[in-house]
A and B are shown apart, each in its own frame.
Chain A
């Protein structure tokens, strides 16, 4: 047990990722990638949270896998286009399966989500293990990604340049573009997204097609998920989708501020994650989500609005602690 957790020193924790120039460069790209993934996921995730669809995000982050695997098999390359199309189709298929199951039968939405994504994910895993030679993904990578490989790739000088600006390895470059596109899309469709998330009825009376917004959001979610996939893995995408947004929602109630806080949270999580991963020598993607969870816990405890401390303080001050269920019994003596 003790051999597993190395001793903790503030100094090493803070500076060891940046001591060596080579490691520092490598870590810079990892942090940048993590920041991009967390920003894109977190921004889209905010809409999932307000639409009470957090677990649909979970479902889609699993079910893009067969899409990617089939894209690999068909195109025989690791090309982005085929992967995007595969993931997009898989994402939309998931959305449709969930809708069909819970509209056509008495099976409720939660069970429908569970059935849809596990089936598709199972197909993906089977395809990967059957065609291991053709598909350049392994099972572990599917789960927790290979964000660590970005560093060496960047050091080897495999940069993708756009307008002469080096944007790092292809995965990072792609993610930067997707993140920028996410911000642009949210800016363009801000009011449509907000109204249809808050009140679908009002949206349709304003001439906004709520179904289109729904499928649009799901499609874009698939795009974000697939571009994050290689670095943080299928399952940790859900953490990046929900944790930053939920943390922000505890701190403020205004949507624009939530979006800003999400970006801030993304930066802190990815930076903190790299420090954590260096200290513990563990998966950086996992460490980033752990960092995001820690940030959430901090907000949960210290939030000025409804943090645990404030709640506790209020209850003591007001003297009306919420009585237990046995109160009826106790007070009727």
Chain B
């Protein structure tokens, strides 16, 4: 079960038979200021799954996503998206960064931001076409933000800003999505809207990796969980991985979190 992470990647060579997995990581090490943050990560994520990445603060959850997308230099190892390097498969990857990573006073409106999701398909120089606007409008509608499309982005609530980011990712029309804490600081309505949306995407065969910080909800939201603390503690179907022992291994001796875990595990039994 847990050994999914260590599965040999033999299927890779046989092109044509089955497509390579959406995400494959081998021996990934990343360090900040001479201190390793991720160490020897091996991971193969199967297609069509909703994967939660959980772990304590500083476990390297966001770092993992950034490293996969080439936003951070790697000390060792490699990453493949559908069997190719990330740079060769850009269009198949959608990204939802943390909300705090941008300046919300930036002079753009909601529509402009969602249109940015189309930029990758346009390539250099070309301007967004009518069709791109149409797609952007559909994506806004899916997150119920269409009425706000002319709003300047600072005039939105935190949840609305997050939905704009989601709409932008949808507009990318990718096959695998990386989302960095999409649930942080959003209202309950947005949280359930996001979850519905993620399920819809999964139903279409997309693969979604979500950095998540809330353990109790993690169990209900995701098909598979990646327990991360500098190394991969466990990776597998939620019901197999969400055990007291593994979570304790992930979170170490942090008492408050552990009691939450204990509560969550008890509910499950």
Give me the interface of A with B, judged by CB distance under 8 Å: 106, 108, 314, 318, 320, 322-325, 327-329, 331-332
The docked-state distance in angstroms from the alpha carbon of A218 to that of B107 is 33
The docked-state distance in angstroms from the alpha carbon of A45 to that of B149 is 47
B129 on the A face (CB < 8 A): no
Contacts A106-B105, A332-B85 given; does A320 touch B73 at CB 8 Å: no
Contacts A106-B154, A320-B31 given; does A328 touch B105 at CB 8 Å: no
Residues of A within 8 A of B78 (CB): 328, 331-332
B74 on the A face (CB < 8 A): yes
In-complex Cβ contact of A328 among B31, B85, B154 (8 A): B85
B70 on the A face (CB < 8 A): yes
Q: Are B74 and A323 in contact (CB under 8 A)?
A: yes
30 A-B pairs whose Cβ atoms sit less than 8 Å apart in the complex: A106-B154, A314-B34, A318-B34, A320-B31, A320-B34, A320-B75, A322-B73, A323-B74, A323-B75, A324-B73, A325-B70, A325-B73, A327-B73, A327-B74, A328-B74, A328-B78, A328-B79, A328-B85, A328-B87, A329-B70, A329-B85, A331-B74, A331-B76, A331-B77, A331-B78, A332-B78, A332-B79, A332-B80, A332-B85, A332-B86
Nearest chain B residue, comparing its CB with the CB of A318: B34
Least CB distance from B81 to A in Å reads 10
A/B pair count, beta carbons within 8 Å: 36
Residues of A within 8 A of B86 (CB): 328, 332
The prevalent SS among residues of B at the interface is mixed
The docked-state distance in angstroms from the alpha carbon of A325 to that of B87 is 11
Residues of B within 8 A of A320 (CB): 31, 34, 75
Count of B interface residues, CB-CB < 8 Å: 16
Residues of A within 8 A of B105 (CB): 106, 108
Nearest chain A residue, comparing its CB with the CB of B76: A331
Residues of B within 8 A of A327 (CB): 73-74
Residues of A within 8 A of B73 (CB): 322-325, 327
The docked-state distance in angstroms from the alpha carbon of A320 to that of B31 is 10
Q: Are B75 and A328 in contact (CB under 8 A)?
A: no
Residues of A within 8 A of B31 (CB): 320
In-complex Cβ contact of B70 among A108, A314, A318, A328 (8 A): A328
Residues of B within 8 A of A325 (CB): 70, 73
Q: Are B77 and A329 in contact (CB under 8 A)?
A: no
Least CB distance from A321 to B in Å reads 9
The docked-state distance in angstroms from the alpha carbon of A90 to that of B78 is 57
Q: Which 5 A-B pairs have the closest CB atoms?
A: A332-B85, A332-B78, A106-B105, A328-B70, A323-B73
Least CB distance from A82 to B in Å reads 42
Nearest chain A residue, comparing its CB with the CB of B107: A106
Nearest chain A residue, comparing its CB with the CB of B67: A328
The docked-state distance in angstroms from the alpha carbon of A318 to that of B36 is 13
Least CB distance from A317 to B in Å reads 12
Nearest chain A residue, comparing its CB with the CB of B31: A320
Residues of A within 8 A of B77 (CB): 331
Nearest chain B residue, comparing its CB with the CB of A320: B75
Residues of B within 8 A of A329 (CB): 70, 85, 87
Nearest chain A residue, comparing its CB with the CB of B85: A332
The docked-state distance in angstroms from the alpha carbon of A318 to that of B87 is 29
Interface string of B54-90 (1 = CB under 8 A from A): 0000000000000000100111111110000111000
Least CB distance from B68 to A in Å reads 9
The docked-state distance in angstroms from the alpha carbon of A108 to that of B34 is 33
Interface string of B229-266 (1 = CB under 8 A from A): 00000000000000000000000000000000000000
The docked-state distance in angstroms from the alpha carbon of A108 to that of B154 is 14
Least CB distance from B64 to A in Å reads 13
